[in-house]
């Protein structure tokens, strides 16, 4: 977590944090479905952040 990831834009640790949030979301959704929990986020536009 040095200046390398601050704003240098080396391109080494840049493509990593991009697919991270996508994988995390996928894992969370999959975990909820596996636990038997229904996702009411896309169904409920009221709680759509």
pLDDT of residue 33: 78
SS3 content of the chain, % helix, strand, coil (to 5): 45, 0, 55
Q: Specify the residue for token string 């929990």.
A: 37
- Which residues touch 41 (CB under 8 Å, ≥6 apart)? 47, 48
Top-confidence residue, 48 or 14: 14
Query: Which pair of structure tokens corresponds to residue 37?
Result: 């929990």
Q: What is the pLDDT of residue 47?
A: 53
Digit-coded pLDDT (tens) for 2-43:
555 555 555 555 555 566 667 777 888 888 778 776 655 555
Asked if 45 and 37 touch (Cβ cutoff 8 Å), the reply is: no
């Amino acid at each position: 977590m040095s200046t390398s990831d601050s704003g240098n834009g080396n391109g080494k640790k840049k493509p990593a944090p991009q697919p991270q949030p996508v994988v995390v979301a996928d894992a969370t959704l999959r975990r909820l479905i596996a636990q038997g929990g229904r996702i009411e986020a896309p169904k409920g536009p009221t709680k759509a952040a």
